[in-house]
Chains A and B, each alone.
Chain A
Amino acid sequence: MKSENGFYGQYGGSYIPEILYSSQQQILQAFEEAKNDPEFLAELNKQWQQFSGRPTPLTFCENLTNHFGGAQIYLKREDLNHSGAHKMNNVIGQGLLVKRMGKKRVIAETGAGQHGIATALVAARLGLECTIYMGAKDIERQYPNVFWMKQLGATVVPVTTGAQTLRDALDEALRDWSSSHEESHYLIGTSCGCAPFPEMVAFFQSVIGNEVREQSVAQFGQFPDRLYACVGGGSNACGLFLPFLEDENVEMVGVEAGGKGLELGEHSIRLSHNLGQPGIAQGFATMFLQDDAGQLQETHSIAAGLDYVGVSPIIAHLAETGRVQMTYAMDDEVIEACTLLLKKEGIIPALESSHALAGAFKDAPNLPKESRIVINLSGRGDKDIFNVAKAVEDETFPQFLNDYLASYPTFPADNSHANKEQNA
């Protein structure tokens, strides 16, 4: 979706410290040129195909369809991307842009670690130096992802300011970029941040919706009636929705994280239910969860990838104009939806994507039998093994962890040295 000078209605724009002006202009120009360069696009398609495994399938879910007895349910299988999530579409695109700009280093923020891993994978493949900022609390919660980032050669920097989560990691990545803008590119993971990041990330993610356009016509002879996507930062929703924007008969539903409840701090609902307020922070204008004094607030979701205080200015605008309908799903509904997909279809969804499932499952029984819905399964759920085990109260899991720990070799104390250096 083309912006008006970086703005989507009242959202978006570029509100960055003056020091970043030149670098931001450089990205603006490089992206503008790249997206119109057939050679760049050919290389992008090649990498999407050969490195990430695109195109991803559109899978019909017969059992679920019969279970609800309403709309015919299809899943767009972004979980089958390399790295297990749609994040790969964007990092491949920006990675190629970094090479084009001649920069040698990438910086990224990550919450759950999915974008961090995707960035580290691409950095390794393209021979780029890679620094990942991650909240110290998120590192504790998502250590397996941190482990892989380090193995891939990335430097993972724990962020200990503020709430020590995604929002703080994003601030710290911006601070690094302020110091290192000459040789570094800030590889943002979602369609947020200053212009042209929202537009650029949405552009790279639009491969999702573009594939669905072809696949839906090939598989059932028409476009879907309704699309569902979870909305954290908003990149997978932008990716599925934007290619259908002009097709007025295609309805779009974005599902936010309702968390544990509607009190401030318990959820990440910025758009539905009027819980967010317009604000300008982290480089752009959007709806933020904030107090009446304009201080950004803490958020919660069982899915770390949806636990963000702002939202894509593109989605904020489409929600405001009514083109995208926003709703939310609570933590427990999400686990229920996840479990249902496991049992009925043999697919392990990420908890983020399970929000989209939960939103769609609420509507499915009431939709006409001949209608078709496509749910964006943005990522696979292997990473959520600890959280899901806890949520379904698996009794054997703690025993497994204890046994594993008991058999884990202990290393001499100065071995921690190597780890520390990597973290320095």
Chain B
Amino acid sequence: MSQLATFIDKKRQKKPILAMTHVVYGYPSVQESLDWMARLMEEGVDFIEVQFPFSDPVADGPSIVAACHRALEQKLDVDTCLSQLGKLAKDFPESRIVLMSYLNPMYRFGLEKLAKRAAEENILGLILPDLPIEQSATYRTACEANNIDPVWLVTPATPKDRLTMLAGQASGFLYCVARSGVTGHSSHEGKSHERKSHEEKDQTNQLDDYLAEINSHANAPIGVGFGLRERSQIEQLTGKADIAILGSALLDAYNEGGQEAGIELIKMLFTK
């Protein structure tokens, strides 16, 4: 079993569901983002997912897009970022860091070099939402050689045979996108606001079926993200998923009330 999956298994013996919290590297400044990561791990989150910003983040919604663009007003460097995350990983051995970005900045840095450097800094998982598994031979080989996990995504729109394939290929954990669309609140979900309560129930059942289907094929723990911001959602996932991934909602809270508001949200969502 991979280092990441082993870590998740071990933690899961004590906790019903693990928390992965997302932070945009460099937002609002490099130091503030590093402080925020340290604080999250101090508070005991199991994982942080660090997003290295890209100018054109097409899978992200308005909150994360704005944070990435703001972060890119300064020059950001992948290698420096990895070193800084490596220090955090050392300081907080009870938590793990995974790195998320888009393909282009990582491709420019070099996918083989990325895998090697990530492993050196104890970053055990990488998430690249715009790299399809079909085009990933070099990247997968590099991850394997360095004993880190390329994390794959599945979605409710993924056809069954493909879902089976991706679940079978999963290493570290499988990232299950909870719904169509981009991360967080989106200007494109006009219809969902009008959703009636019986439709919401259908949605709940659909998510349960979707997770059950994934669970029956997955070779790795599963994490669920996209659109999580309420305690009822986390409760619904408990027992069906290993990790709840908190992205835009946490960023929105941080933007509203800084670190304290962010921590309050996490406690509200995850404390028993």
Residues of A in contact with B (beta carbons under 8 Å apart): 13-23, 25, 157, 161-162, 167, 171, 174-176, 178-182, 277, 279-283, 288, 290, 292-297
Instruction: Determine whether the beta carbon of A179 is less than 8 Å from that of B181.
Output: yes
Q: How many chain B residues touch A (Cβ–Cβ < 8 Å)?
A: 47
B:142-164 near A, CB below 8 Å: 152-155, 157-159, 162
Given contacts A17-B59, A175-B58, A282-B56, contact A296 B104 (CB under 8 A): yes
Residue in chain A with minimal CB distance to B101: A294
Name the distance in Å between A227's Cβ and chain B's nearest Cβ.
Answer: 32
Given contacts A13-B135, A17-B58, A17-B129, whether A175 and B188 have CB atoms under 8 Å apart is: yes
Known: A179-B181, A280-B130. A18 touches B104 (CB 8 A): no
The A interface, classified by DSSP as helix, strand, loop or mixed, is mixed
- List, in ascending order, chain A residues with CB within 8 A of B65's CB: 161, 171
One of B60, B76, B177 near A18 (C-beta < 8 A): B177
A25 proximity list for chain B (CB < 8 A): 159
- B103–A281 contact, CB under 8 A? yes
A15 and B54: CB pair below 8 A? Answer: no
Q: Contact between B189 and A179 (Cβ–Cβ < 8 Å)?
A: yes
Does residue B168 face the partner (Cβ distance < 8 Å to A)? Answer: no
Q: Is the CB of B186 within 8 A of A175?
A: yes
| Residues A290 and B58 in contact in the complex (CB < 8 Å), given A179-B180, A180-B188 | no
Task: Determine if A161 and B180 form an interchain contact, defined as CB atoms under 8 angstroms apart.
Answer: no
Residue B210 is within 8 A (CB to CB) of chain A in the complex: no
How many A-B pairs have beta carbons closer than 8 Å: the answer is 129
A279 contact from B108, B181, B188, Cβ within 8 A:
B108
Complex alpha-carbon distance, A165 and B267, angstroms: 40
For the complex formed, measure the closest distance between the CB of A406 and the CB atoms of chain B, giving whole angstroms: 37
Q: Give complex CA distance A277, B155 in Å.
A: 32
Bound together, the chains give a CA A292 to CA B75 distance in angstroms of 10
Nearest-Cβ distance from residue A114 to partner chain B, whole angstroms? 22
A selection of 16 A-B contacts at a CB cut-off of 8 Å is A14-B135, A17-B130, A18-B129, A162-B55, A174-B58, A175-B60, A178-B181, A180-B188, A181-B180, A182-B180, A281-B54, A281-B102, A282-B56, A292-B108, A293-B76, A294-B108
Chain B residue numbers with a CB within 8 Å of A293 are: 75-78, 105, 108-109
A15 B155 Cβ-Cβ under 8 A: no
Within the complex, the shortest CB–CB distance from B150 to chain A, in Å, comes to: 13
Q: Is B131 an interface residue (CB 8 A)?
A: yes
A45–B59 alpha-carbon span in the complex (Å) = 37
On whether the beta carbons of B56 and A18 are closer than 8 Å, the reply is no
Residue of B nearest to A16 (CB): B130
The interface residues of chain A lying within 8 Å CB-to-CB of B61 are 175
B113 at the A interface (CB under 8 A): no
Asked if B157 and A19 make an inter-chain contact with CB atoms under 8 angstroms apart, the answer reads: yes
Closest Cβ of chain A: how far from B202's Cβ, in Å?
15
In whole angstroms, what is the CA distance A279 to B155 when docked?
26
Contacts A21-B162, A181-B180, A281-B56; is A161 near B108 (CB within 8 Å)? no
Instruction: Please provide the 9 A-B residue pairs with the shortest distance between their CB atoms, ordered closest to farther.
Output: A294-B108, A179-B181, A294-B105, A179-B188, A17-B59, A19-B155, A294-B104, A295-B55, A174-B58
B residues less than 8 Å from A13 (CB atoms): 135
Q: Is B69 an interface position by the 8 A CB rule? A: yes
Contact residues in B for A18 (Cβ distance below 8 Å): 129, 132, 152-155, 158, 166, 177
A14/B132 in contact, CB under 8 A: yes
Chain A, residue nearest B129 (CB) = A17
Asked if B92 is at the interface of the complex by the 8 Å CB criterion, the answer is: no
**Interface contacts beyond A180-B188, A279-B107, A295-B55: sample of 20 additional A-B pairs, CB < 8 Å, sorted by A:** A18-B177, A19-B155, A21-B155, A162-B69, A171-B57, A174-B58, A175-B60, A175-B61, A175-B188, A179-B182, A179-B188, A281-B103, A281-B104, A283-B58, A283-B130, A293-B76, A293-B77, A293-B78, A293-B105, A296-B104
